[in-house]
Amino acid sequence: MAGAKNGNFSEKISPYLRQKMSSRRGGGAPKFLTLQYAEDPLEKISNARESPRYYQSEVHATFEGEVLRGVEKLYRRTLLVEPTTICAAHCRWCIRGQCDTLTLSNDDLERIARYCGTAPENADVREILVTGGDPLILVDRVDFLLDSIERHATDVEVVRIATRVPLQDPRRVDKRMLHALRPRSTFRIEIATHINHPGELFPEVREAYAALQTAGARIYDQTVLLRGVNDEPETLVELFDELRHLDIEAHYLFHCSPIRGMDHHRTSIARGLDLFRQLSCSGKTSGRVKPQFALMTDVGKVSLCEGSIIGRDKDRVLLKTGYSYGDRLRWVPTWTLPASASVGGDGFLQVWYLDADEKKA
Ligand code: SF4
């Protein structure tokens, strides 16, 4: 491990979270909050194989004579739009924490909607993932974007909005937000969220998620596996049991990504698989709350299954994926193969992924 300076992902803790971190009777701040939000000197330590951000998936294209900003694409059906990189609080483990800051204008957003609806490479797109940053920090911008999608991208059937606002500042889930998320005529709205510990589900948080559901949004969860926060089977069982109770769909249990300075948050893949087994094959939760255990690789998400790991070196695993190189270039003509990936003899992408060392815990 070589010591290195990190990017500039400053500590940001919302007043709501600060109050929760200071108001616990008879004890210090809950570990599940401090480990997620308080800056740690260990972030200064990095490994040359860690990267400053998640996979490269920006669409490098001009449309209507303008350079597109805040658009990503890797898959056939889904286009990503990032209205802003601002969040209510900074999750220290965020895969986007070291990205440049950017907020799109309404002109940008309307152009993206037209791009989605008319560019030939988007003919198969049926979903838009609105992410960031946290888009629900700029509710009016999201309202405008949803109207633009309804007007210009009529083949889009689902708009997903990725947010942690209900956990970080639940009072923001107010009438204005619920109006912005009102049903549109051409697509349904889904909310993607990361709930990582059952303790995060304070009464206000539960009310905020319930209000979003009442407004018509379906909610799904992508829990991030974090060392010291939720890497015990009892914690995961309790969490996913609660999600079932709250009618929040269990989508992914994400292995914490090898972003620069994040090693102290990461379990090994083997530990993650063991926890996944104890969560999903134990009979302790409903069979309807089994997430997929997935890794965020340089070519996209890979859910682990039999035969996924086809090689190892000192600290990495080589993963076989079902991503076809030919398809990828068809869907995203500007995409370039990352240095960590290669094309197998069968035309599918293989990719190296940095494991973590459990013994350092
Ligand atoms: S709210 Fe989302 S985008 Fe913002 S820091 Fe947390 S994980 Fe990252």
Cα–Cα distances in Å, from 279 out to 32, 236, 253, 276, 289?
Answer: 19, 7, 10, 5, 9
Q: How confident is the model at residue 6 (pLDDT cuts 50, 70, 90)?
A: very low
Question: Which residue ranges have their beta carbon within 6 Å of ligand 1?
Answer: 87, 90-91, 94, 96-97, 132-134, 164, 194
Taking residues 255-276, what's their average pLDDT? Answer: 94
User: Sheet of 218-225: strands edge to edge?
Assistant: 71-72, 78-81, 127-130, 158-162, 188-193, 218-225, 249-255, 292-297, 300-303
The burial class, CB within 10 Å (0-12 / 13-18 / 19+), for 309 is middle
Tokens 């004579």 appear where? Answer: 65
pLDDT, tens digit, for every residue of 202-213?
Answer: 999 999 999 999
What are the DSSP E strand ranges found in 83-169? 127-130, 158-162
Query: What pairing do the DSSP bridges indicate for beta strands 348-354 and 341-343?
Result: antiparallel
Average pLDDT, the chain: 92
Give the residue, by CA position, lying nearest to ligand 1 atom 6: 91
> Is 4 a residue whose pLDDT tops 60?
no
Instruction: Please compute, for residue 202, the number of CA atoms within 13 A of its CA located in the half-sphere on the CB side.
Output: 19
Residue 3 confidence (pLDDT) = 31
How much distance in Å is there from the Cα of 165 to the middle of ligand 1?
A: 9
> Is 260 a residue whose pLDDT tops 80?
yes
Top mutation candidate among 8, 11, 91 for ligand 1, by most atoms within 8 Å of CB: 91
How much distance in Å is there from the Cα of 94 to the middle of ligand 1?
A: 6
What are the DSSP E strand ranges found in 132-248? 158-162, 188-193, 218-225
Give the residue, by CA position, lying nearest to ligand 1 atom 8: 94
How much distance in Å is there from the Cα of 87 to the middle of ligand 1?
A: 6
Instruction: Please compute, for residue 113, the number of CA atoms within 13 A of its CA located in the half-sphere on the CB side.
Output: 23
Residue 242 confidence (pLDDT) = 97
Q: Calculate ∠ Cα 36-216-103, nearest 5°.
A: 50
pLDDT, tens digit, for every residue of 323-336?
Answer: 999 999 999 888 99
Backbone angles phi, psi at 219, to 5 degrees: -115, 135
pLDDT, tens digit, for every residue of 16-42?
Answer: 999 999 966 667 889 999 999 999 999
What is the Cα–Cα distance from 263 to 356, expressed in whole angstroms? 7
Top mutation candidate among 33, 72, 94 for ligand 1, by most atoms within 8 Å of CB: 94
- Of 153, 98, 87, 91, whose CA–CA distance to 125 is shortest? 153
> Is 54 a residue whose pLDDT tops 80?
no
Instruction: Please compute, for residue 245, the number of CA atoms within 13 A of its CA located in the half-sphere on the CB side.
Output: 10
CA 107 to chain centre: 26
pTM: 0.93
Ramachandran bin of 228, using left for φ above 0, alpha for ψ from -120 to 50, beta for the remaining angles: left
Q: Walk me through the domains of the chain, giving residue ranges and CATH numbers.
A: 2-272 (3.20.20.70)
The burial class, CB within 10 Å (0-12 / 13-18 / 19+), for 249 is middle
Contacts of 300 (CB under 8 A, 6+ apart): 55, 57, 74, 75, 321, 323
